[in-house]
Amino acid sequence: MKTDVLIVGGGIAGVALAHYLTQAGVDVILAERGALNREASGTNAGSMHLQIAIHQLMHGMDDPAEAERLQRETRLAAAAMELWRELDAELDLDWHTTGGLMVAETPAQVQLLHDKKRLEEEAGLETHVLEGDELRRFAPYLSERVIGATARFISRIGPGGTRSAASHSWKSSISSRRSQAASTRAANARSLRYQRRSVPRAGPPGSRL
């Protein structure tokens, strides 16, 4: 059996690759030893977080290479978020944005939030650090131990074209199983051939499977 591209593995990476290749007119075989989307890709929470996670900053940002790495990841995350929006419009993936706050309980953690804000802004992501009365007004349900939080503000168009501010950490979620099933159906409608089979370990470049 001949094909332009053989993809081994029917997780999110394999299915997404098949989706875009068949969209470009490439003949594709997707081989998966089990059922599609039954490993890690289909059993996760399906959440996406756009802010830099506070645990990523625990080692500091004195190293310029570390700061640049975080900024690259933030830019990639923002681009990925837009790609998911496009896929949702195309495939109806049950995408929804819920929101959340990244909180701090110590002055050192609040400083990390400010450092994170600077990195995110340099990467093109606008975020805000909420403290004191501003934080209590926005999230009165938070414990008194929480002394700071980071949020991302967005503008929404209200009735009559008026704008209102909403705040969240741009936490979104998507149905993992639904997204991959939709991508596979779309690829099948083009030139994807799916085989449920194991593929032997590849040999040196140029070898035959």
Tokens of 203: 């040999």
- Average pLDDT for runs of 10 along the chain of length 209: 86 86 89 80 75 74 82 88 84 73 92 89 88 93 94 47 34 50 57 63 57
Position 181 scores a pLDDT of 59
Position 195 scores a pLDDT of 65
What is the CATH topology of the domain spanning 1-45+175-209?
A: FAD/NAD(P)-binding domain (3.50.50)
Sorted by sequence, the CB contacts under 8 Å of residue 46 that are 6+ apart come out as 173, 174, 175, 176, 179
Sorted by sequence, the CB contacts under 8 Å of residue 150 that are 6+ apart come out as 51, 101, 102, 113, 116, 117, 127, 128, 129, 130, 169
Of 136, 144, 155, 172, the closest CA to residue 45 belongs to 172
Position 148 scores a pLDDT of 96
Residue 168: φ, ψ to 5°: -165, 175
Position 155 scores a pLDDT of 36
Position 160 scores a pLDDT of 36
Of 145, 130, 3, 123, the closest CA to residue 72 belongs to 123
Position 48 scores a pLDDT of 75
Position 169 scores a pLDDT of 39
Query: What ranges do the domains of the chain cover?
Result: 1-45+175-209, 47-174
Position 53 scores a pLDDT of 80
Position 131 scores a pLDDT of 96
The rounded distance, in Å, linking the Cα atoms of 31 and 6 is 7
Burial state string for 73-100 with b = 16 or more CB within 10 A and e = fewer than 16:
ebeebbeebeebeebbeebebebeeeeb
Consecutive H or E run containing 137: helix 132-138
Position 157 scores a pLDDT of 30
Position 171 scores a pLDDT of 43
Position 45 scores a pLDDT of 73
